Structure 1
Amino acid sequence: MEIGKLLEKKLSRDAFVFGLERAIWLKLMSGKEPYKIKDDTYLMTRALLNSVKRAYEQGISPAYKKKLSELLLGKILFRGFKSKIPHKKTYGIEPPSFVTISPTNSCNLKCVGCYAASPCAEKHFEHLDYDVFCKIIEQNKTHFGSHFVVISGGEPLLYRGKNGKTLSDILQEHNDVFFLMYTNGTLINKEVAKKFAKLGNITPAISVEGFKEETDWRRGKGAYKKILQAMENLREAKVPFGISITPTSRNIETLFSKEFIDFWFEKQGALFAWSFQYLPQGRNPDMHLIPTPEQRFKSYFETWKFVRKGYMIADFWNCGTVTRGCMAAGKPRGGYFHILWNGDIELCVFAKIKDKNPTLNNVYNLFNSGKSIVDA
């Protein structure tokens, strides 16, 4: 029976997910890695599968039902390993799991301490060439065997190619890829939500800083209200979404509280949370916003407490066991690299480091020299 049909009804969905969880557990436990790594990987995978169950229970559009089963569970989770075999045979190592693309530095907000330092004025706008954007996605599939791409920014919904094409055109043209988009959420109106619902291959991760006080302090007055409206639009259109959080010394206690999880997951319907601890870089770095060692230590236990309860909360520091350490520089098994709006290729979104060779450190130069992203 097709995965999509198994997920339709609660009884078969629960049985399918239970069987899959057990198979993953047995597979992990048969390996030689330390128990902690195996157990954490299982817990996070179980939380991910729980998010898929919750998406069906909350209601998602027909297009999302099709794409979640075909892409997320089918090509990415189930067949993801087999798709990497050709690369491993050729190069001796597994390829990166995905590519993160920031196609524009344009943004309509001016958040305190933004790591990307995205400008608000139009005269500073830069956009990745549409054809190059498409070529990166295609090569991520053909060379890395990956059908998953992360979109960041700037604000991705402000992307405009020279031909006038937008992110919606990218989604439509690459409908065999599932996209995770980091967004401030303020531009997700009813029309945008309906487009996503029709396409079914993107899930927004909307940035929140806590509740109204924390969010409006960092993102500007009125941002919190617009975020709630965006989530209402997504729920109405039956689009699955999550949140993105940046723990700082000011808000970390709030972000890992039961009240926070209840509000955003249970009341607003978020299916996942990505957590990036504040780094003093980008716009006006503030050392005082760095979480203290005591706060970070406590957040580790709070993060895993909620993961054990079935909430998918992935912290790039506290959940390093799942990715077997740092993900930067296209590390085999779980790694990635970052491509900017000007074509620069970086080790990581948060590590502004690139190769000293100009042919290899920029995707325009790379493609113009007849090379591919494998050579980066």
Structure 2
Amino acid sequence: MALSEIQIKKAKAAERPYKLADGEGLFLLVQKNGSKLWRLKYRYHGKEKLLSFGAYPEVGIAAARELKRAAKGVLAEGRDPMVHKPGRDFEEAKTFRAIATMWHENRASSLNPAHAKRVWSRMEQDVLPVLGELMMHEITPPEVLKVIRKIEERGALDISRRAKQCIGQVFQFAIASGLCDSDPTAHLRGALKPRPRVKHMAKLPLAQLPELIIKMERYQEEGERRSEITRAALTFALLTWVRTKELRFAKKHEFEGLVGDSPVWRIGADRMKMGREHIVPLSRQAASLAQDMISKSEGEYVFPGQKPKMPLSENTMIYGLYRLGYHGRQTVHGFRGLASTWANEQLVEVGEPPMWIRRYHEDWVELQLAHSEENEVRGAYNAAEYLAPRRAMLQDWADFLDSIGGKARNIAVLRAA
């Protein structure tokens, strides 16, 4: 018996996918997530095959039956409707552009909106102009590699890898939906240009950090106010693990709750490398320093430059480290590496029999550093995620700096005596 519109609308998701038959091999597959997909079961040269006509309600009953009739007509001519598409609408439904759109819409709600926009923008710029109008089964590994090579030519090796990843995800979505049989990106392993060796920013061994802290505290420049601002900026960067650009343009209104128990610094998406807001929980030491600098600043910037209403210049902090004797040994960006090394080396003993585990989860460290997350499921987070454990981690770090700085001062006093 043919299906009715009301039957389809009332069909609910169940523990397992199930079929609602419409006749002559056409049926509606109701998935566990509630999606409803049109399928046509047919035989070609003795082999049973499945043809997909899209999802309900985008493809209604009448459209699905018309596509079935067209497919049957192709079959009667001795041709496989999987290869010889029945009708323009069906052809368009199986282009890479159409399937990529379905893939993106299916997952967009689970992603950070800014991240979802970036992903689709990369697809429109680099992938769709080449693959968009091709049928899924027509796309071969060389066709995909052509897309990748074009991106590599402009030196964007990270973007080329992300493009390959997205293309592969579109094909995996199509395979799961019965729209194609294979993923051409699976054959590209080893074909992409290798990333150049990463040049890490200079950083000291942790054992030399106490000496750096003492030198920073004694930093002197051409004037006491300038010295104070440079000292404060260097110290604040060390306490918060942020990038130089993020700190230089810090504005007073970005700081919240400095006199409370949960002070934060809210950095806008426009200043972040990954284009999303970053919330920095502040230790007591960082909050006190921010409060002091805000009270003394005449303009909107927390760390003003030579002109009070302008931000700190781009080279002030790194030149400060040069004056302290750390040229080629320590950069401001390298503070992040020092902090990350410390955090990743902290262990705690638990259980019986005892075992050692990380004190700070790797996600807390990576989120505090505002690193890119290539795994998009882990990357789709709320900006405030892990705020409490990150606050505890930064407070431990600030207390550690105080501790080793105090010990270094005591040793210096004893040596001078």
TM-score range, shorter chain: under 0.3
Q: Give the structure-1-normalised TM-score.
A: 0.24
- Determine which structure has greater relative contact order: mean sequence separation of CA pairs < 8 Å that are 6+ residues apart, divided by chain length: 1
Flag the structure with larger Rg.
2
